Amino acid sequence: MADTDNKSKVEEITEQLEQGLRDLFNSEKYKTYLTTMSKFHYYSFNNTLLIAMQRPDATLVAGYGAWQKNFERHVKKGAKGIKIISPVKLKVDVEDKDAPEEGATKQIEVTKFKVSTVFDVSDTEGKELPTIGVEMLSGQVEKYHQMIDALTKISKVPIEYQDIDGGSKGYFSLKDRKIVVQKDMTQVQTLKTLIHEIAHSKLHDYPLDKSDENGMERKDKRTKEVEAESVAYTVCQHFGVDTSDYSFGYIAGWSSGKELDELKSSMLTIRKTASEIISDMNTEIAMSQHPLEETLDKEELALQVGDKYLAIQKCDEGYDYTFYDANYHGLDGGVIENKDAPIAIVAAEVIAAEGLGSVKPVKEVDYDKLHEDAAYTAAYEMETIAEKKPSILGQLKDKFGLVEGKHEHGKMKSDRDECR
C-alpha cells in the first residue's frame, strides 16, 4: 500500500508538471526565448559525447562566428574551445565510366570530416540571452542535511562539491564517472541539482563506446535533460520543495515544442525513476533516524513508533504489516510485495510512507507480546459487544477469523497469526 501511495502521488505531480509547461508555452516570454534558441545547432549523438567528455558542464555551444553573427556575443580572450567533428562537402573529379570518350571525368559531391572548434556560452560575453525561468532557486529546506545524506548514500557514483567554471550548477561526468555540484549554492538549488545529476547517472550512464547491442536506447540531449529535470522536479515536489520557477523554464527550454514530445515519450521512465529515488530516500532517512541493522535477518519484527506499534512478518507475497494504536487497536495494514529486501528495510519504508519518518522514539518490542496484546484487545471488544448484541458475535468471528477457546494472557487463535 505504501508503494502504491508513492506511485499515485508521483503520477499526480507529473500531471501538474505537464500542465505547468503548457501554461508556460503559451506565454510571450517563451516565444521570445524560442526565437533565440532556434538559432542554435543541435549536434549529433557522437558530437554530444565529445562535448560531454571535454566539457561536461557545457550548456549552449556554437562556433566562433556563430556567436557573433547570431547572438551578438564574443568569445572571451584565452577561452579554450571544444573539439567536434564537422562534415564538409567537397566537389571532386572522378572518371566518368559512362562517357563515350576515354578519360572523361565528371564532378561529384562527397562528404568528408574535419575537426572544428565550438565554444560554450560561458566562454562568451555580450548581449544577454533570453531566459524563461529563474537563474537560481532560493530558500531553505526542512531536513536538508538528512536529504543530502540520503542522496549521497543512494547515488551509484561519487559526489563532489566544487567551484565549476562557467556558471554551471552541476554535471554528471561519463568519463570520470562522478557527479560534481557547484558548492555554496542555496539549499533548494543544491538539492534540486543533486537529484537532477543523480537522475542522469541512473538513466544516461552509457559506456563511452556505446553500441546498439548493449541494450540501452540512444537518447538525444533534449530528451536527457527533460528526463533529468522532470525527475528532479517530481522528487523535490514529493518532499515539499517547490522548484517550478526553475524546472518549468528548464524543461521548456530543452523541449522541442508545445507538444511536449520528450516529456510524453519519457513519462513512464520519469515516473519510475522518481519513484525509485523517493523510495530509496525514504528508506535512508528512516534508517538514519531508526537504526535497525541488527534486525536485518529476522522473519518477524515488532516496533514501537512513538505512540503506535508496527508488526511486520514475512509471507508468500513479501511482507505483511499492521499498525496498532497505543491501546493495541488495529489501525491499518497491508502487504508489501518485495521478497528480497531485508525486513528492517521494509519496516523503514513502511514507517516513512505512513508519515512517521520523523517520529521518535522507535524501538524494538517483543513480537509475540504485541500479538498477544492485540488479540486480547480484539477478544475483549468482541466479548463486550457480544454481551450487548449477541446476534453479531458470529459475524465478528467470521470477519476476524477468531475461534472460541481459552487463551493465555488473553491470546486467541486467529487466521492472522499465520502470514497470508
Q: What 3-state DSSP class applies to 101?
A: coil
Rg for the chain, CA atoms, rounded: 30
Tell me if the pTM is above 0.75: no
DSSP label of 127: S
Within 10 angstroms of residue 128's Cβ, the number of other Cβ atoms is: 8
Q: What is the pLDDT of residues 288-306, one digit of tens each?
A: 765 555 555 678 888 888 8
Number of domains making up the chain: 3
Q: Tell me: do 416 and 357 sit in the same domain.
A: yes
161 shares a domain with 15? yes
Preceding amide of 56 cis, omega within 30: no
**161 and 118 within one domain:** no
Whole-number pLDDT of residue 241: 94
115 lies in the same domain as 246: no
Look up cell 535477518; give the residue: 297
Q: Which domain holds residue 399?
A: 296-420
Same domain, 309 and 400: yes
Same domain, 256 and 355: no
- Judge if 229 and 273 occupy the same domain: yes
Distances 353 to 99, 272, 310, 314 between C-alpha atoms, Å: 79, 17, 13, 19
48 Cβ partners below 8 Å, 6+ apart? 220, 221
176-200 pLDDT tens trace: 999 999 999 999 999 999 999 999 9
Q: What is the pLDDT along the chain (420 residues), one digit of tens a residue?
A: 455 566 778 888 888 887 877 777 666 766 666 566 666 766 776 787 788 788 888 878 999 999 999 899 999 999 999 999 888 888 888 887 777 877 788 888 888 888 899 999 999 999 988 766 678 899 999 989 999 999 999 999 999 999 998 778 999 998 899 999 999 999 999 999 999 999 999 998 866 544 444 445 567 888 888 899 999 999 999 999 999 888 888 887 777 666 667 677 778 888 899 999 998 888 788 777 655 555 556 788 888 888 899 999 988 888 999 999 988 888 888 888 887 778 887 888 888 778 776 666 678 888 888 988 888 888 877 777 666 655 555 555 555 555 544 444 433 344 444 444
* Domain final residue pick, 289, 321, 350: 289
pLDDT at 104: 81
Amino acid 29: pLDDT: 67
Same-domain pairing of 138 and 228:
yes
What pLDDT sits at residue 211? 43
User: Which pLDDT score, from 0 to 100, does residue 2 have?
Assistant: 52
Closest CA to 234 of 218, 251, 220: 251
Question: Domain boundary residue among 237, 272, 289?
Answer: 289
Residue 383 sits in the same domain as residue 415: yes
Distance CA 278, CA 6 (A): 8
- Asked if residues 161 and 168 have their Cβ atoms less than 8 Å apart, the reply is no
CB count in 10 Å sphere of residue 80: 12
Residues 283 and 147 in one domain: yes
Does residue 305 sit in the same domain as residue 237? no
Domain boundary among the residues 128, 159, 188 is at 128
Check residue 124 and give its pLDDT. 94
Place of cell 505512540: 307
Residues in a beta bridge with 320: 313, 335
Which of 252, 147, 142, 247 has the alpha carbon at shortest distance from 196?
247
Q: Are residues 357 and 312 in the same domain?
A: yes
Q: Which amino acid is at 341?
A: A
Q: Which residue has the cell 531485508?
A: 342
pLDDT, residue 409, reads: 41
